[in-house]
Structure 1
């Protein structure tokens, strides 16, 4: 029996290298690679894209769209790690925990779009609460997240890690997305089931990888029966059978004073925390995960497994 052929277009980038590392040594698949000097030759890329079983795109958005246009073989399936197709009709959103039907959709899809690192945490927090009507879909959602600098790719990694770089950075914290038009916002809105755009304020810290993401809630703006316990119960039940998403007990949240962004690095896990107290009308949702794991390459490999083997 022929082994499935996997081609990573953009394998020299941050996400591509991470995916390649996670797949290295596997005996159930065959990796197709291009020599460094061939990777920018359109004819060679097109040949590789059309001779594989699954193409994983680790490219800038426009380059990913171009790569898809090169594919003429109807048997080739695509897993796009860019943000180029995350809200495109006909593409399946590659977040298996979105709902009970999503793993099957991913397993059968010809075109799968891997989620963004920030939207992964935001959607996993918001979607179940809106779907269960704990949060109204017009709630004014604010998402604040701090990621390791690897979330911006090779350029910022080099700026932080190479002291000789002409734009060498030493800042402990950099806020960005101040025009409120970050490319992840449409994705967050769509898959969180929100009727209005969330306000998203991202930042980088002076560490390589890991995310802490926060979403504050005011109980006075929620459904009348919503409470800290109701929010926790809803999320805990929603992810009860999840392999990778873990909702932490309220008793643990009560005693937790610090959240470390690097605690789940090099894994595909995501921890959900719900903070608050009965005498406050405020709840703080938090997600901790690896922006290169569950936020990128780990999620890609999780989706690849579904595309290869379905739900078995």
Structure 2
């Protein structure tokens, strides 16, 4: 039986290391890694990519584009964990729960763009509601999210884990020029007609995201209630292995959300908190920025691809 060869380009970065760890010890695939002295050699990297069945790119955007441009073997399939191709034509967006057909599209695609961490939570909450007509595409949205510092890459990890890191702020907002690179991705894949306001931040903890989106019920279509929003998400995610939907919380104190609650998993937990008397709702998502927000999602997409490859392998042998 053919064991697919998987090459992780950039396996020494935060996401690449996590993907490598998640794949370590598996017997249904072979991992290709380059020696340290070859990792930055364009010729060696191109050779590795073109020899792989699946290449997972954990690179800066420009380097990811160069890596894709180096592919000459039409059989190579790519999962790009950078943001280089998330809104590009010809690339399948790697969120299997996007709709009922997305997992199959990913499985059959040769070019898959892994979602960004923040967009994973935002799109998971917004897209079903927009598609169902419960949330207008031009709604004046504000998205707030706090991530563990590992979301800032190796430099942020080193800064927060050095001996004198106790002097760093417990929470620090950034992206205050309101031009964060994740916004076009959120807008396109959530089906929004207007650009949302996105305010991200880093907390002084390693990993995990809590994301929230406030809504005013009076600005939704007439008659839309928190129950309608909840039922829409229940229908959309029925049977979804990696998405949990909490019961609707209304009219009372609710437990605080812990951004680290799903660390080291590939799960995404969604919840709605509503106060009908005040006409307000908050949509929330909790997940691991290194799990469902990065490496876990990449492995989920890889497994979809490998499943499709196994289905096709008998045809290749007899052809």
Alignment TM-score, normalising by the size of structure 1: 0.96
* Structure 2 match to 1:180: 178
SS at match of 1:153: helix
Alpha-carbon RMSD: 1.6
SS at match of 2:284: strand
* Structure 2 match to 1:51: 51
From 230, 234, 257, the equivalent of 1:232 is: 230
> What are the Cα deviations for residues 85-141 of structure 1, in whole angstroms up to 9, with x where unaligned?
000000000000000010111001010000000000000000000000000111011
> What are the Cα deviations for residues 149-195 of structure 1, in whole angstroms up to 9, with x where unaligned?
00010000000101269xx8621111000111000000000001000
SS at match of 2:211: strand
In 2, distance between residues paired with 1:253 and 1:54? 49
1:255 offset after TM fit, Å? 4.9
* Structure 1 match to 2:284: 286
Change (3 A) 1:56 1:253: farther
Alignment TM-score, normalising by the size of structure 2: 0.94
Q: Which runs of 5+ in 1 are unaligned?
A: none
From 182, 199, 218, the equivalent of 2:216 is: 218
Single out whichever of 183-192 and 274-283 deviates more from structure 2. Answer: 274-283
* Structure 1 match to 2:163: 163
1:253 offset after TM fit, Å? 9.1
* Structure 2 match to 1:151: 151
Change (3 A) 1:197 1:223: same
* Structure 1 match to 2:21: 21
Contact 1:253/1:273, CA 8 A, preserved across alignment: no
* Structure 2 match to 1:108: 108
Contact 1:253/1:274, CA 8 A, preserved across alignment: no
Change (3 A) 1:255 1:244: farther
Contact 1:148/1:204, CA 8 A, preserved across alignment: yes
1:240 offset after TM fit, Å? 1.2
> What are the Cα deviations for residues 197-254 of structure 1, in whole angstroms up to 9, with x where unaligned?
1100000000000000000000011011211111111111111110011110125995
> What are the Cα deviations for residues 245-281 of structure 1, in whole angstroms up to 9, with x where unaligned?
1110125995523100000000001111100122121
Contact 2:81/2:298, CA 8 A, preserved across alignment: yes
* Structure 2 match to 1:61: 61
Q: How many residues align?
A: 310
Is 2:117 the counterpart of 1:117?
yes
In 2, distance between residues paired with 1:153 and 1:59? 11
1:310 offset after TM fit, Å? 3.5
SS at match of 2:143: strand
In 1, distance between residues paired with 2:46 and 2:130? 42
In 1, distance between residues paired with 2:253 and 2:263? 23
In 2, distance between residues paired with 1:237 and 1:169? 46
In 2, distance between residues paired with 1:83 and 1:169? 31
